[in-house]
Amino acid sequence: MGIESKLGNLGIVTTSLEKLVNWGRAGAMWPMLFGLACCAIEMMGSQAPDYDMSRFGMELMRASPRQSDLMIVAGRLSRKMAPVLRRLYDQMPAPKWVVSMGDCASCGGVYNNYAIVQGVDEIVPVDVYVAGCPPRPEALIHGIMTLHEKVRGEKIREWA
């Protein structure tokens, strides 16, 4: 406001801490490789040159949970895999977000039986649900951009 108009041409900008931190978090969110089934192929397809996700800061997918911020649960979660998912989520350092990609991860999808967890939100808290079977890469990117908007709107009281 006032100080920028005086010091603007010295190369200084002022902003709030909230906006700065949220901009940093949303700008380079690294997803963790957690492709389970068919949705993983569409996730790889959205990383591929046709629907490039590195335009949105997700240049690489980190295999290690300790080095990633975002877990895209892509595919159906079976009951044998559920403890592994929770363990990986616990290993991710805060701040962390979860995108549930596809119908199977969001609500059990086509499968309503003994072997599939009916929605990943029984195990980890989910921020964005992306519907589709499998969702198109454009749908996944829309989900990621929705998550970015959500991150940019986070308040300092929640994470400080």
Helix 137-152 vs helix 17-27: crossing angle, to nearest 10: 160
Question: What is the nearest approach in angstroms of another protein to the Cβ of residue 118?
Answer: 5
Q: Which residues pair with 78 in a beta bridge?
A: 116
Please identify which residue in 5, 55, 113, 155 interacts with another protein, judged by CB under 8 A: 113
Residue 115 makes contact with another protein by CB under 8 A: yes
Considering only residues 44 through 83, tell me which ones interact with another protein, judged by CB under 8 A.
44-45, 48-50, 61, 63, 75-76, 78-83
Residue 139 makes contact with another protein by CB under 8 A: no
Q: Which residues contact 38 (CB under 8 A, 6 or more apart)?
A: 75, 102, 134
Helix, strand counts (H, E) of the chain: 7, 4
Question: What is the nearest approach in angstroms of another protein to the Cβ of residue 4?
Answer: 40
Residue 4 makes contact with another protein by CB under 8 A: no
From edge to edge, which strands make up the β-sheet containing 31-32?
A: 31-32, 70-74, 97-101, 128-130
**Which residue is associated with the tokens 């039986």?**
113
Looking at the Cβ atoms of 21 and 139, the one nearer to another protein is: 139
- Contacts with another protein, residue ranges (CB under 8 A): 33-38, 40-42, 44-45, 48-50, 61, 63, 75-76, 78-84, 86-88, 107-108, 110-118, 121-125, 133-134, 136
